Amino acid sequence: MSNDLQLLSYFDSALFCSDLAGRSKGAVLKEMVECVARSHGVRDRSLLLEMLERRESLGSTGIGKGVAIPHGRSLAVVSLRVLFARSLKGVEFDAVDSKPVKLFFLIVAPPQDKKNEYLPLLGKIAELVKEKKTRDRLLKVEDFAQLRAVLEESGLGQ
């Protein structure tokens, strides 16, 4: 994995959602797409949502331990972005361990990203959430500054 992959540079305060209202997989995906569309170059919301729903139909991105990393490439987005969202109540997301998901990292990228960072970024986030201590801290973040602090202290923020 590239050492120059700056995990923090893909996060943005506009892409921070501390309490998702959605109670189903479809509602949460739509809510996250709306958040990305409000803040960054999304050409077509419905195309982006359709891509994410299609990706979920192939197999859930709920990786277990209360975490999901919905992701995909689409012409609907201009650049690689990551949205962090949290559901305080948890959402049934067909996760591999059948547990509700509370932490979401939505990764969207154009079909071609010149620096080829999409998969390394996905790997870094999966590595980040392996630690129970990190997941517990992420569940408590109230704002973007706290999220940034958790990422920096995890050693993956660099």
**DSSP strand pairing (101-109 vs 67-68):** parallel
71 is catalytic: yes
User: Annotated catalytic residue: which of 17, 48, 71, 107?
Assistant: 71
pLDDT tens digits, one per residue of 124-143 = 999 999 999 999 999 999 99
pLDDT tens digits, one per residue of 17-48 = 989 999 999 999 999 999 999 876 788 999 99
Q: Are 68 and 109 within 8 A, CB to CB?
A: no
* pLDDT higher than threshold 90 for residue 152: no
Phi first, then psi: give them for residue 74, nearest 5 degrees.
Answer: -155, 145
Domains of the chain: 8-153 (3.40.930.10)
Q: Are 29 and 147 within 8 A, CB to CB?
A: no
Q: Which of 70-74, 78-82, 113-117 has the lowest mean pLDDT?
A: 113-117
